Structure 1
Amino acid sequence: MDRRIALIGFGEAAAAFAVAGHWLELASAFDIDPLRKPAMVEAGVKVSDHAQAALADAELILSLVTADQALAAAKAYAPLLEKGAIWCDMNSVAPTTKRDAAHAIDAAGGRYVDVAVLAPVYPSGMKVPLLLSGAASFDACTALVDCGFEHVRMVGDDVGKASSIKMIRSVMVKGVEALTDEMIAAADAAGVRDEVLGSLDRSDPSQLWAERAAYNIERMKTHGTRRASEMEESVKTLAALGVDPIMTRGTVVRQRGAAESSKEPRDIA
């Protein structure tokens, strides 16, 4: 594999892919936060001081910024792309946001692909499931597999289809986390935590609910800010489909509150 790769945004996902991939000598990275540079050095990618340097001659771009910056990044960097370069938008945003980003990339001569990442990047790494949609999804699929991604699947030619699957799925995944947090808070306040969890274990013995709750709350404490931004995009997705996102709005509040809380993580073992 000898194609040039650019990583735009170097958070958890980009670092995981950079370490797990076998193309580090061909990858350049840029992040607007200069504090991310040590992580780039540690991962072994080429550190770029500005986006233009990272994107120079890049054939495949993985956009891995925060949800609230996905569209801004596409608009800002579209003019810097090589003609025909594939922009893989791997950010968790609403289909409407991805369609707006696609317009910016395609108008500048790039090729936009909607990519949905369907599992945590740790410990999955290059085994993480990816869904692709958009006119250039076939070429993107080939390129991503060539880079070492093992589970890549095309779901259609329309930008927004992959992200629809991701955003609607997240209603359940992140919603269950939020419900868990709310349940434990109420159980603790009432002094009936053990009884509540024991009752759930008897109803569904497939996994101890204490373990489930510990995992869900840890994820919220650690990633709640990013998850809240993602769920705001799920709110947009549902609203655009004519579905009132009553529960999902609550998930936004719970996820953000968990991240912002200064309390010690609850001991629910």
Structure 2
Amino acid sequence: MSIPANPLQWSIGLVGYGEVGRILAEDLRARGVEDILAYDIKFGTADDAPLLAHAAQYGVRPMTSHAFLARAADLVISAVTADQTLAVAVSSAPTLKPGAWFLDFNSASPGAKIKAAGIVDAAGGRYVEGAVMTSIPPYRSRVPLLLGGAGAAELAPLLKVLGFEGKVASEKLGVASATKMCRSVMIKGLEAMVIESFTAARAYDVEDQVVASLYETFPGIDWEKQGAYFFQRVIEHGRRRSEEVREVAATVREAGLVPWSAQGTAERQAWVADLADAGVFGKRGSAGFARSTDWRVEADRILANVKPKD
């Protein structure tokens, strides 16, 4: 079967039906796309009820595997954790329609993206890397998106019809991903540093002095608001962030550098995720989970679960 010329007539398959996948499903449906498919590793498990309820609400067809989704989709959008980037390409490639698009949203290193592209293209698909350049929720499908690969220029206007804001970074694979990964050294690192600095300052009862000093040095940043946001995002998404930063570390290694900062960031993000999984910040999905406008509430929860060294 040929791919329809009008992207709104495409069957669009979402691999990964977490926060990103559900936002894309909502926006694609609002845009007029009628056939939306989804697959998530949670389908068929005890945790799939809210995902399936959302899919039913928006008319999304749940699929039982990557392969079944790829067989039916004109465009596959892979939006999974960074460590699953290659696995999704391997599982999807054998059943892709000839000429089907494969848009890789995942936060993976340039090397991982190049390997995934080789797998997809060898199977007759058309791989395009997509580097999401900031948090998706505020922008939704219009999040700034860098595209890379031989098919990027052809796919960009088609994605615009679907409501995306994709900009071609390069025909060379890896350029878009390198841009995102190098940015994440700073952004994800800043999250980890704020949590470490602010929580330690709270333990010593010097948080007001530290925050005041930051306002003086960087007056353009609302450190109270930014601190609360960083705590919230890492508590809620630290596991996914830690996996992304491991790919950031791989990117730094691919450049020939030792990723000391990225490695530490990944460990801090994963550590916060472990605390969240243990219920330190309340029950996931509850009104009080990582939603305080005062980061001190979350810092106190952390401090209540660690022991100062003598």
> Match of 1:51?
66
What amino acid does structure 1 have at the position aligned with 2:27?
A
Q: What is the TM-score of this pair, normalised by structure 1?
A: 0.94
* Matched ranges for 1:2-151 at <5 A: 2-21=9-28, 22-34=31-43, 35=48, 36-149=51-164, 151=165
3-state DSSP of counterpart to 2:296: coil
What amino acid does structure 2 have at the position aligned with 1:134?
G
CA RMSD, aligned part only?
Answer: 1.6
- How far apart, CA to CA, are the structure 2 residues paired with 1:141 and 1:2? 16
3-state DSSP of counterpart to 2:103: strand
- How far apart, CA to CA, are the structure 2 residues paired with 1:57 and 1:268? 49
- How far apart, CA to CA, are the structure 2 residues paired with 1:178 and 1:50? 35
What amino acid does structure 1 have at the position aligned with 2:187?
V
- How far apart, CA to CA, are the structure 2 residues paired with 1:182 and 1:52? 42
% identical equivalent positions: 36
1:24 Cα offset (Å): 4.2
Aligned mate of 1:220, from 223, 229, 234: 234
3-state DSSP of counterpart to 1:56: helix
What amino acid does structure 1 have at the position aligned with 2:39?
F
Query: Which range moves more in the overlay, 137-146 or 108-117?
Result: 137-146
Report if the CA contact (8 A) 1:24-1:44 is conserved.
no
1:85 Cα offset (Å): 0.7
1:206 Cα offset (Å): 2.2
Aligned mate of 2:207, from 154, 174, 193: 193
Report if the CA contact (8 A) 1:18-1:24 is conserved.
no
Q: What is the TM-score of this pair, normalised by structure 2?
A: 0.82
- How far apart, CA to CA, are the structure 1 residues paired with 2:66 and 2:273? 30
1:260 Cα offset (Å): 1.2
1:210 Cα offset (Å): 1.6
- Which ranges in structure 1 are unaligned for 5 or more consecutive residues? none
Report if the CA contact (8 A) 2:10-2:75 is conserved.
yes
3-state DSSP of counterpart to 1:216: helix
1:267 Cα offset (Å): 4.0
* Matched ranges for 1:239-250 at <5 A: 239-250=253-264
- How far apart, CA to CA, are the structure 1 residues paired with 2:232 and 2:220? 20
- How far apart, CA to CA, are the structure 2 residues paired with 1:160 and 1:99? 7
